[in-house]
Amino acid sequence: MSTQRTQVAIIGAGPAGLLLGQLLHRAGIDNVILERQTGDYVLGRIRAGVLEQTTCDLLDEAGVGERMHAEGMVHGGFELCFGGARHRIDMHGLTGGKHVTVYGQTEVTRDLMAARAAAGLPTIYGAKDVAPHGFDTDHPTVSYTLDGVVHTVACDFIAGCDGYHGVSRASVPPKALSIYEKVYQFGWLGVLADTPPVAHELIYSNHERGFALCSMRSTTRTRYYVQCPLHDKVEQWSDAAFWDELRRRLDPAAAEALVTGPSIEKSIAPLRSFVAEPMRFGTLFLAGDSAHIVPPTGAKGLNLAAADVRFLSRAFIEFYAEKSRAGIDHYSEKCLRRVWKAERFSWWFTGLMHKFPETGAIGQKLQRAELDYLVGSRAASTAMAENYVGLPFEA
């Protein structure tokens, strides 16, 4: 048994935990990260790849933006495909010059891990039985087991950045939590391949066979998805079956242009809308997927995690520099206002683009009318663009 002391104990070395650790370090605040998996395991998870401008700014602030600027792809628009044709949403033009950066979450994580290692900051990978204690006091601790030995970290604050299945939210008494949740009745089958992207920008397709998305990681690597039954198994989907299905859900020009190749990763992900309120319990703070999940249609998951971390890092910095608890006290409500707006957008975009057999023919007709309205109305396109590109932070 050993006891170690730090200012902020961070549970989880996903993008939220790593980014928080880096921002705190740059402000001179000590932190330790406890992660149950290995670093390689964390890097093996393929997630979304669209960064809002405010997320890019935060990566710059953390000193890890260099490769993102060099290799990330700046996109000023995306395409909606329906009725056999594509319609561009001119994000840049509709938002007064804003854009997103296409750069994989895996790469963000890799850059953050490298910066943390270069700074010599402590990350305990393979930490088992991680558990937060005493967060109703000003002297919380986190215990964990490594190589059969129990260790304790004494700290001022605990940051629960341990994702949807983490221990942080699970350690809060259920009666202190309000949970809001919707589970969708379908999944996304995703394929990563070393093929050139079918188009310069992302294509979101509403098709009678189901939703499809054409995304990318670089000019030579693509990430494509098709809506699939929730209980399908990856093994049921050969590469050929995937490419056939994707092609059928695109307009004729994109179907013709689609270059196929062997998959290098293939996985099925469920879709969920989830919020746990509040996001602070005494000296325990939830950030990222531990507090909320959005369906991936709006690409908001990582961006929301970054927004939480922005608020949380500022709150801790203010506390240590000015002995002010204002940021800490307002953390939860500030995050949740932004979270709910992103939940709403992601839920709306998911509803617009997917096939919902239960809504029948009228559901399809209404989706089509909304899509026609969306691409035909500058006001509606603007509302979509400003959400997709990322809402501004409240003053």
**101 vs 59: CA distance, rounded Å:** 12
By the 10 Å C-beta count (0-12 exposed, 13-18 middle, 19+ buried), 317 is classed as middle
69 is an active site residue: no
Q: Which is nearer to ligand APR, 17 or 21 (CB)?
A: 17
Q: What are phi and psi of 23, to 5 degrees?
A: -65, -40
Count of helices and strands (H, E) across the chain: 13, 21
Catalytic choice (144, 296, 334, 354): 296
Whether 21 and 121 have beta carbons less than 8 Å apart is answered as: yes
Work out whether 381 is an interface residue with ligand PHB (CB under 6 A).
no
How buried is residue 246: exposed, middle or buried, by Cβ count under 10 Å (0-12/13-18/19+)? buried
Q: Is 296 a catalytic residue?
A: yes
Instruction: Give me the amino acid identity at 375.
Output: V
Instruction: Identify what 302 binds: ligand APR, ligand PHB, none; CB under 5 to 8 Å per kind.
Output: ligand APR
Binder of residue 385, out of ligand APR, ligand PHB, none (CB less than 5 to 8 A by kind):
none
296 near ligand PHB (CB under 6 A)? yes
The whole-angstrom separation of Cα 148 and Cα 385 is 51
Determine, following the binding rule CB under 6 A, whether residue 52 of this chain makes contact with ligand APR. Answer: no
Instruction: Give the other-Cβ count within 10 Å of 164's Cβ.
Output: 14
Using CB under 6 A, which of 21, 22, 35, 116 touches ligand APR? 35
Tell me which residue has its CB nearest to ligand PHB. Answer: 215
Closest to ligand APR by CB, 172 or 302 = 302
Catalytic residue among 204, 224, 225, 331: 204
C-alpha angle 86/92/95, rounded to 5°?
115
Residues 40-79 that bind ligand PHB (CB under 6 A): 48-50
Q: 233 catalytic, yes or no?
A: no
Residue type, 36: R
Tell me which residues touch ligand APR (CB under 6 A).
11-17, 34-37, 42, 47-48, 105, 127, 130, 161-163, 165-167, 288-289, 301-302, 305
Q: Which positions touch ligand PHB (CB under 6 A)?
A: 48-50, 202, 213, 215, 223, 296-297, 299
Q: Which residues are known catalytic residues?
A: 75, 204, 296, 300, 388
